[in-house]
Amino acid sequence: MSSHTGKTRVAGVMGWPISHSRSPILHGFWLAEHKIDGAYIPLPVRPDDFAAALKGLAALGFAGANVTVPHKEAAFALVDQRDEAATKIGAVNTIVVLPDGRLEGRNTDAYGFIANLQHNAPQWRADAGPAVVLGAGGAARAVVHALLKAGAPEVRIVNRSLDKAEALARTIGGSAHSWDELPNLLTDAGLLVNTTSLGMNGYPPLEVDLAPLPSHALVSDIVYAPLVTKLLSDAKARGLATVDGIGMLLWQAQPAFEAFFGVRPTVSVALQERVLAG
């Protein structure tokens, strides 16, 4: 039996498709944990319907919504105002309905990435050395912004299409490099991050020779299916510290949940196990 009332706070996640999203499980866990009269629902929204769906959030009494593929850039263009991270990254993953009905676009991906590193690799310091970021897509934009804001002395963006890396470097910062430069770029790196889909279930593995990396370097992969990618497995075999991708998903949801439901939740082992179980 539903315990929802006329005072239930409602939020959700918009995407197309949306059935793969772990966000309803994640937010549902926190709602139950904090005994909140709230609901968080998947919202399958076709790209052509996205603008209309956004306008409906306030009318339906939603507290807000998360936004995933393919709507993050469209959301950026359609909201009434944006926070600093969204403005810099050029994408919105969290929309908060303000008291006057206007929509504020936020980006919590950068926060989630750094919080995951700090929580799971407390020895890592952003200013300890250059960071090497593989990929130049939307996730890379958030990661590069996060690293520069955290104090990384240099962020090297490596992509098979150099023009995309150059475009990212121009808009957010860092330096652009081709894939064949990678061995030299790793020799003094303090962090290597994969933001590509390589290594994800259904995609080819990411083949990178980690031999040039210093022994103190941290290796991170934002892919979380599988949890231990070939990149992380190879790094562990070399004795390097690693951070998997599930934490970024969990931590980026923390400020969104607080904005929607008024409580700042805890990222726990129990939460991770629940989300991974699906």
Measure the CA–CA gap between 216 and 43, rounded to whole angstroms. Answer: 43
The reply to whether 109 sits in an annotated binding site is yes
Between the alpha carbon of residue 108 and those of residues 15, 231, 253, the distances in Å are: 17, 25, 7
SS3 126: helix
Q: Per the annotation, does 40 bind a ligand?
A: no
Is residue 137 a known part of a binding site? yes
Q: Is 88 a catalytic residue?
A: no
The identity of residue 183, as a single letter, is P
Establish whether 94 is an annotated binding residue: no
Question: Is residue 266 annotated as involved in ligand binding?
Answer: no
Whole-Å CA distances, 191 to 74, 97, 105, 229, 272: 31, 37, 29, 17, 24
Q: Where are the alpha helices (DSSP H) in 172-245?
A: 182-186, 230-237
Helix axes 246-261, 269-277, angle to 10 degrees: 110
Question: In this structure, what are the phi and psi dihedrals at residue 211, rounded to the nearest 5 degrees?
Answer: -55, -35
Is 23 annotated to bind ligand? yes
Q: Is 181 annotated as a binding residue?
A: no
Is 139 one of the annotated binding-site residues? yes
Residue 239, marked binder: no
135 is in an annotated binding site: yes
Q: Please give the angle made by the CA atoms of 62, 277 and 198, to the nearest 5 degrees.
A: 90
Assign 235 to helix, strand or coil: helix
Q: Is 84 annotated as a binding residue?
A: yes
Check whether 59 is labelled as a binding-site residue: no
Instruction: Spot the catalytic one: 55, 72, 88, 230.
Output: 72
Task: Determine whether the annotation assigns residue 215 to a binding site.
Answer: no
Q: Is 255 exposed, middle or buried (0-12, 13-18, 19+ CB in 10 A)?
A: middle
Known binding residues for shikimate are: 21-23, 68, 93, 109, 224, 252
Known binding residues are: 21-23, 68, 84, 93, 109, 135-139, 222, 224, 245, 252
Active site residues: 72
Known binding residues for NADP(+) are: 84, 135-139, 222, 245
